[in-house]
Amino acid sequence: MTSSRSAAMRVVEPEANQPAVGAAHGDSATIAEIGAGLLAPQAAVSPKYFYDGMGSKLFEAITELPEYYPTRTEAAIFAAHGADMAACTGPGMTLLDLGAGNCAKAASLFPLLQPKHYVPIDISRDFLNGAVERLRQRFPHIEMTPLALDLAGPFALPPEVGHERRQFFYPGSSIGNFTPREAVNFLRHVRENIGADGGLLIGVDLVKDHGVLNAAYDDAIGVTAAFNLNMLRHLNHLAGANFDVTLWRHIAFFNAAESRIEMHLEALEAQTVRWSGGERAFARGERIHTENSYKYTRESFTALLAEAGFRVDGVWTDAAEWFAVMHARVAE
């Protein structure tokens, strides 16, 4: 990485063709969070800012790519072992779908899990509401309460969710976007919201051949690159920034020492980026860190759950052990 505190604080005049700073549509806390990340010695932006409407659609496209194994591998595990998972959860629960997106994964399990109440939770309100309206037509017997929440910190559920038999559902290895310490803190927040009679059904991406991992996050036709770059457009909208997307490129690789995929955006030329209340000069080759995706072994993730206050009572994998789905309850 080429970023440094001195680079972060350097001010240069913009190029003549640099886009102007626009209106900021995010609230003050959002703009402050984005600005703090961009001004850090290693510039970084939370992966939650991938998900505007376009970002959500691009991620759906990623899940269909031949290189992106997690979605289809996890789906195969659900198909093969869904009945065993349903035996762990029991019917008639409140199913809380964390990072629900288009709600397709949870909906595919409705016939097996038989929830009484479905509570999809996502940061993208409009995308979520549209998905729920379509689901209500297919499953009119299931009560549905969509919630737009930021899951990056502590969260509290509204009274209409109910307190009994809460079953949290967190598929797709999204837990890997957190550092292990952040993951423990997040899972503790989930545990605080479960209650004694609930549980957690979670997808976990496992360590595997590095070539397979790298291809999954840097596909041949560039859909993941478009997804990563679209974040800059979202920052322009939220923070009134003036990123020129054509001056950046997508970088992704497996960091074996940290057991994680890293995604970055790299500046193709020197430039100054401005946003509401701040600016930063980026040198050619300097990067913005946009995502981590940690990969675990079965044993290391079981230990992480235990640290968060859970005990595992079910583990299911594919034959190659590329991916795992685990069910956990609050430890006594």
Shared domain check, 290 and 145: no
pTM to 2 decimal places:
0.85
Tell me whether residue 27 is in a domain: yes
pLDDT digits (tens, 9 = 90+) for 270-296: 999 999 999 999 999 999 999 999 999
3-state secondary structure of 240: coil
Tell me whether residue 167 is in a domain: yes
Q: What would the two tokens of residue 241 be?
A: 């920034």
Shared domain check, 280 and 216: yes
Q: What is the dihedral of CA 46, 49, 51, 53, to 10 degrees?
A: 180
pLDDT digits (tens, 9 = 90+) for 53-89: 899 899 999 999 999 999 999 999 999 999 999 999 9
**Residue 19: what pLDDT?**
63
- Give the span between the Cα atoms of 247 and 282, in whole angstroms: 11
Shared domain check, 306 and 185: yes
Shared domain check, 131 and 195: yes
Residue 188 has pLDDT above 90, yes or no: yes
Shared domain check, 138 and 202: yes
Shared domain check, 290 and 304: no
Residue 291: CA count within 13 A, CB half-sphere: 25
Shared domain check, 222 and 143: no
Q: What CATH number is attached to the domain comprising 182? A: 3.40.50.150
- Which sign does the torsion angle of CA 313, 146, 65, 286 carry? negative
At what angle are helices 223-239 and 53-63 packed, to 10 degrees? 170
Tell me whether residue 105 is in a domain: yes
Shared domain check, 108 and 188: yes
Shared domain check, 49 and 121: no
Tell me whether residue 155 is in a domain: no
Residue 6 has pLDDT above 50, yes or no: no
The residue segments making up the domain with residue 189 are 69-150+160-208+298-330
Tell me whether residue 256 is in a domain: yes
**Residue 18: what pLDDT?**
55
Shared domain check, 78 and 223: no
Rg, Å, the chain Cα set: 20
Shared domain check, 105 and 11: no
Shared domain check, 202 and 92: yes
**Smallest Cα–Cα separation from 59: which of 272, 299, 225, 236?**
225
Domain tally for the chain? 2
